[in-house]
Amino acid sequence: MVRVALITDTVGMALGTIRANKLRSALTVLGVVIGITAIVGMSSIIRGFDNSFRDMIRELGPSTIIIQRVGFLSAGSGIDRKILMARPNLTIEDAAVLKEVNPSLQSVAAMVQGQQRIFYRNERTQSIAILGATADYIDVNFVKIEQGRSFTENEVRHGRNVVVLGQDPYKAFFLGTDPLGKIVRIGNTEYTVIGVAAPRPSVGALTNVDALAIIPHSSFARTFGAVSRGDNRRVGRSVQIFAVPREGVSRDVAMRDVETTLRIRHRLKLNQASDFDVSTQDMAMKFFDEATGAIYLALVVISSIALMVGGIGVMAIMMISVTERTREIGVRKALGARRREILWQFLLEAVVLTSVGGILGCLIGAGVGLGVRAFTPLPVSMPWWSFAIGFVFSGGVGIFFGLFPAFRASRLDPIEALRYE
């Protein structure tokens, strides 16, 4: 076993070498610092997105079934884009039939989305999501009402101009005041505020689900143009449908009922693929896991290149160090130092050098994460394992690229080393 005293002395010598050659040491470990910074900084951002996305998806509830014309399953399956774009629209009637003929479903809601500014007196918002929905949408999507109420089936049927504001437009216009009964304008149409939705989890500024307003789909059609209805599936906007199974009915059974009903309505033959997507929270999570897995893999590849460059630099500097200290090695061997002790000396010097780079990379990566959190709306999470991986990787680079110089130093002939000028 290597003596503890030897390890302590060797680490001290390595730190002394770094202090004596600050510029050379900094340039040597620069690649390691860049690689570890990328691992820590980017993983904190990716992890933040991951946590926020999961929180947002969980809001749908574990049993909610999502029916879309083109969903993430088809978009990520490699199906030709022209085939996907040729799919017929889903309609309000599709949702109504699903609710009517399937006793396995407790509730069914439909939603169509547009983008528009909201105006109140002399103020206005940025362009935000305007959702045209059925009366069940609030319940099926588990949107909590913070103030007021949601619209009723009767208001949807008669196309009343009523609106439930999300947190962003509410704070922009009515923070600290009562918004209920106030008149806002969406496009050129006036709407009466009847409720305010509670805050919901979102993935930073890229998917801010609080920047929205919810109106009846019948009112949406007057403001934004036709929503696809009846059998004319090529005109107007396609809707998204959300369904919740009845208590005691498994989600898989409900999904089969949904698919069967829609295939019959779309007049599909047995050998024809479905022209819609049926998905769930679990499927969304799985798809996102695959996407983040690919991002993590790309991050590892990019970081590995930087670490390899840093490792080659460490090897080159250690080879120079072995040459510069040839007489020192000869003297130590003449005084009784064993080959194993010389090997450990140079190997530990390489590990200390890269570990210092790893610590700097972790600190800079943490600084990047904190900076992103402080100055942008992007979600950031800094798990402990990203720092552990960064430090372990930096030590591993030192061991891998320090072995050859350490072996070379340990195998020097003491007589030849003492003769070296």
Q: What is the pLDDT of residues 83-118, one digit of tens each?
A: 777 788 888 888 888 888 888 888 888 998 888 999
Distance separating alpha carbons of residues 44 and 31, to the nearest angstrom: 20
Amino acid at 66: I
Query: For 34-68, what is each residue's pLDDT tens digit?
Result: 888 888 887 787 777 777 767 666 666 667 888 88
User: Nearest Cα to 70, choosing from 213, 267, 278, 381?
Assistant: 278
Q: Say what the pLDDT of residue 201 is.
A: 64
Q: Say what the pLDDT of residue 65 is.
A: 85
For the chain, domain boundaries: 4-55+287-419, 88-275
User: Nearest Cα to 236, choosing from 215, 222, 257?
Assistant: 222
Amino acid at 217: H
- Side-chain-side CA neighbours of residue 274 (13 Å): 21
Give the 3-state secondary structure of residue 156.
helix
Q: Say what the pLDDT of residue 39 is.
A: 80
The residues of the chain scoring below 70 in pLDDT are 1-3, 5-7, 10-11, 14, 17-18, 53, 55-62, 72-78, 201-208, 226-235, 284, 287, 376-378, 413-421
Residue 240 CB coordination number (10 Å) = 20
- Residue 188 sits at φ, ψ, to 5 deg, of -105, 10
Q: Say what the pLDDT of residue 410 is.
A: 76
Q: Say what the pLDDT of residue 163 is.
A: 94
For 290, counting Cβ atoms within 10 Å of its Cβ (0-12 exposed, 13-18 middle, 19+ buried), the class is: exposed
> Which tokens in the block code for residue 83?
């085939």
> Which tokens in the block code for residue 106?
């407790």
For the question of whether the overall pTM of this predicted structure is more than 0.85, the answer is: no
Q: Which residues contact 256 (CB under 8 A, 6 or more apart)?
A: none
17-41 b/e (C-beta count within 10 Å ≥ 16 → b): bbeeeeeebeebbbbbbbbbbbbbb
Query: For 274-314, what is each residue's pLDDT tens digit?
Result: 888 888 777 767 767 777 777 778 777 877 787 887 788 88
Q: Say what the pLDDT of residue 173 is.
A: 93
Distance separating alpha carbons of residues 128 and 405, to the nearest angstrom: 61
> Which tokens in the block code for residue 220?
């949406």
Amino acid at 185: R
Q: What angle do CA 380, 385, 390 make, to 5 degrees?
A: 95
DSSP 244-296: EEPTT--HHHHHHHHHHHHHHHTT--TTSPPSSEEEEHHHHHHHHHHHHHHHH
Query: For 312-323, what is each residue's pLDDT tens digit?
Result: 888 887 787 777
Q: Say what the pLDDT of residue 339 is.
A: 76
Q: Rounded to the nearest 10 degrees, what angle do helices 339-375 and 326-334 cross at?
A: 130
Q: Say what the pLDDT of residue 196 is.
A: 94
Q: What percentage of the chain has pLDDT greater than the value 70?
A: 84
